[in-house]
Structure formats: structure tokens, C-alpha cells
Structure 1
Amino acid sequence: MEFEDRRGQVQRQKYDCLLFDLDDTLYPLSSGLAVGCRKNIEDYMVEKLGIEKTKIPDLCNLLYKNYGTTMAGLRAIGYDFDYDDYHSFVHGRLPYENLKPDPVLRSLLLGLPFRKVIFTNADKVHATKVLSRLGLESCFEGIICFETLNPTHKSTVSDDEDDIEFVGSKLSSSSATSKPEIFDIIAHFDQPNAGTALLPKTPIVCKPSEDAIEQALRIANINPHRTLFFEDSIRNIQAGKRVGLHTVLVGTSQRVKRADYVLEIMHNIREAIPELWESDKMAEVNYSGVAVETSVTA
């Protein structure tokens, strides 16, 4: 989807779309949601899946490292569970009260003359709740979430399964199949010269998989070469760069490979990337440098 040409604009804008991660990107890590989510995942593994508590730290680390999310890793190594139940358990007890309306960010987002889309690994209920708490629900055209990329986890298809504007754009994917036994990933990596070649595949589609990003772009009709991707995860930034996205790493002021820009907090987006507000001059700006956030707003 392209923006209509503006009268008097000599050259085309560099971007058509801004693609935003949600958690720890649109709000700070200090909110405590990430810590709460991690604890809830560990509790789920113990209480629902019967995993020994002593194995949890090593197991979570290996699953996250090799599969992008603990959930995707658990499914890969053989654990069978209901995705909605997992999300309800993991997100249902988060301290959402720590998230407050952010009128400053809302004003900044509404002032950006581009398509704006959320792309998160989280489920729809969590995503909409976070946006509502932040007062940002009207700032985005749509949400690409867990259900968007994994529509076959339900036995019936509901009208709102893929979320607002992206309904009807589902891509087919393989159904999850149960495994006869649990793959011991800890023992696997305890072996000398253990690698990833023999690891089982996950049926879950999620970042940082390049396939997941490419599917999301197709579903929302987004051209990666004309899109700026905001993320707090270096791995997701690197994957996004490989599929052609322009990238902004949020949450740091340190230069990072494959991040075109770095931005410590979203409130400083205008100072760090002023080109987004200078649409008539965008083609004249040198984009080779990295925009480093220099001042912190309380």
C-alpha cells in the first residue's frame, strides 16, 4: 500500500511504513512486565508441564537461544499444550497497572505521516491490553500477533482470529503434531561439539525467524525496503535487516551492527530521527549514519 503523492514533493519519501515491536519497545523495560512474564513462564513449566524446577534456568536459556521464544522451544522438544491456556497463564498475572497512559508518545506517533503497524510475538489479548493501558490503541493500523502467524492452533476459525485489518490474509502452515517423547536439549548441548543441526523443529512461527518476518510483511502488504522496524531485541533487528528492513534498536544508546539507528527511549524519536518529520527533505538526507539518542526524557 502506497501513500498518495503530495503536491510539491519533488522526490518520494524513504519510508511508507513504521513497524513496531510491542513489549519493552513502546514502554520501558523498567515497567516490570518482562520480569513478571519470565516468572510466569517458569511457573507454567513447573505447574503445567511438570518440569523439574532445577532444570528451568538452563532449559529456558537454551530454548530462548535456539527457538526465539521459550514457548516455541517447548513445542519443538515435544511438550504439547493449548496455546491459549499458555498465554492466559503467562500474561494473565502481569502487573499491567504499571503501564500508564503515555500522551507524549501518542502525540509523536499520531504526528508521523506513515502507516504504523504492531508486530509482536505475544497474543492478541496481551497486545490490545498493553496498547489500551498506554492509550495508544488508535495510533496503529493493525496488530500482527501470535494468532496472525499461527492461525491453525484453533479447531475453528473465528471472524477476528487474525486481528482487525489483517483478517483474511492468513497463510497456511503445518499443524502441530505431538511427539512421542521429550527431546533432552540440555543433554544434547552437554555433548562435545553439539550443534543445532539435529535440533527438532518448532511448529510455532515467531520472531526472530526470517520466515516469520516475511510472512508478517506479506500479510500486512508491507514493503521491507520502505519500512522502518523498531525493536528492543538485537536478534530480531538482525533478522529484520536480513529481509531488507531498515532498523531501529530501542533501549540503548550504543551502536550495534545491523541497526541503522539506536534509540534509548521512544520519547526521543523526534530528536534521534528527525527525518521522519521532514518528509519534504527526506530524499536529501544522508542515511548512512546511526542516530544515537543523546538526551533522556523522564
Structure 2
Amino acid sequence: YELHIKADVALRELLFSMDLPKYVFTNADAKHAAICLRLLGIEDAFQGVFHFENLHELADAAGIDTPEHPAVVCKPSHRAYELVFAKIGVPASEVLFFDDSMRNVKAAQEVGAMTVLVGTSEKKAGADLSMLDLHALPKMLPELIDQPGLIKEVAPGHEHENMIEVGDTC
């Protein structure tokens, strides 16, 4: 891992500058997710990490994944997004979802999330916005703020109404 993933101080500063709850949602297992986040230096920048194991715990609790009817619940399954959004306690319409996979972005958009495709600046059908990398986020903020219903005043006690969901890019 260490040969391919290096600490990203600029990304860390960017994440900590954003006064919104942030979550990682990855199809990777817990160990891989933890290693990637640690090597990037951002393991403490998120309120939670949804990975293969705990997503299946959510599916078990919801009665989706049972011994009689085993299921693999992960992105881009609509049910996977619904489980994660329910767990963090917000409707999809209040989630800003970033991912480098077009199929994951498209699925998140289909369930109602605002989506950003990472890895290209070219606008793609199925993504609300596109950006070359997460470092471009400060430049994109005016465009994000102009999206209907995404940014709004939050009354005390309703701080979780605007969420940022970061898909896996490692």
C-alpha cells in the first residue's frame, strides 16, 4: 500500500475545513478502508466509514441478507445507498455523493442524491457535476451552492440535514 498511497495534506485540510458531516462509503472491506484512510492521513476526517462488513450488518438487520436468501449488498445497488442514508439519518435528497465510478454515481443519483463524478472535468449524463479530483472542490463550491435544495439554512438541532458522502477512490 505504502508505495501507491501517500499522505495528502491538502485533502486533509480541505475535509476539515468543511463544516458538514462526512462519511466514507466503500465496497472495500474494513481493513482495506482503514489502511487507505490512514495512509492518506484522513482517517479522522469522517464521522463514519461504511464498508463491506458493516453494510452487510445493516442488510442483516433489515432482513435483506438472510441464510435462506443470501445477498451481496454493495454499490451500485440502490438498496445499499438506502441502507447507508437511513443509518446516517438523512434523506437522499440531502446527500452530496462523490465517487470515481460512473455506475456508482448514477445509482446514487437514481435514489435522489446530488452527485459528483470524480476523475474527469467533463460533464457526464448520470452525474450532477464532475471534477478532476477532490482538490477542485473549493473552486466548485459556487456551482454546488447554486444547486436547488442542496445548501440551506439549518436550524439548531437539525445539523445533520446536509451530508457529504464520499465514495471510495482508493
TM-score (norm 2): 0.78
Point out the structure with max Rg over C-alpha. 1
Matched, 1:138 2:44: yes
Distance 1:109 1:170, change over 3 A: farther
Matched, 1:207 2:75: yes
2:85 to 198, 203, 217: 217
Whether the aligned pair in 2 keeps the contact of 1:149 and 1:170 (CA below 8 Å) is no
After superposition, give the CA deviation of every residue in 1:240-263 in whole Å (9 maximum; x if it has no partner).
111110000000111101211101
Distance 1:170 1:112, change over 3 A: farther
Following superposition, the deviation at residue 267 of structure 1 comes to 1.0
- Structure 1 distance, partners of 2:19, 2:143, is 12
Counterpart of 1:174 in structure 2 is: 65
After superposition, give the CA deviation of every residue in 1:229-250 in whole Å (9 maximum; x if it has no partner).
0011111111111111000000
Whether the aligned pair in 2 keeps the contact of 1:230 and 1:249 (CA below 8 Å) is yes
Whether the aligned pair in 1 keeps the contact of 2:65 and 2:72 (CA below 8 Å) is no
Root mean square deviation of aligned Cα: 2.2
Whether the aligned pair in 2 keeps the contact of 1:149 and 1:171 (CA below 8 Å) is no
- Structure 2 distance, partners of 1:120, 1:171, is 19
Q: Any unmatched runs of 5+ in structure 2?
A: 149-170
* Total equivalences in the alignment: 147
Counterpart of 2:111 in structure 1 is: 243
Following superposition, the deviation at residue 212 of structure 1 comes to 1.1
Bigger strand share: 2
User: What secondary structure does 2:44 align onto?
Assistant: helix
- Aligned sequence identity (%): 36
Counterpart of 1:228 in structure 2 is: 96
- Structure 1 distance, partners of 2:100, 2:41, is 20
1:273 to 110, 119, 141: 141
Counterpart of 1:257 in structure 2 is: 125
Counterpart of 1:123 in structure 2 is: 29
User: What secondary structure does 1:258 align onto?
Assistant: coil
Whether the aligned pair in 2 keeps the contact of 1:231 and 1:248 (CA below 8 Å) is yes
Counterpart of 2:155 in structure 1 is: none
- Structure 1 distance, partners of 2:67, 2:28, is 18
Counterpart of 2:54 in structure 1 is: 148
After superposition, give the CA deviation of every residue in 1:118-140 in whole Å (9 maximum; x if it has no partner).
00111111111100000001110
| Letter in structure 2 aligned against 1:133 | L
Distance 1:251 1:130, change over 3 A: same
| Letter in structure 2 aligned against 1:146 | F
User: What secondary structure does 2:3 align onto?
Assistant: helix
- Structure 2 distance, partners of 1:220, 1:259, is 22
Q: Any unmatched runs of 5+ in structure 1?
A: 1-94, 152-161, 163-168, 178-200, 277-281, 289-298
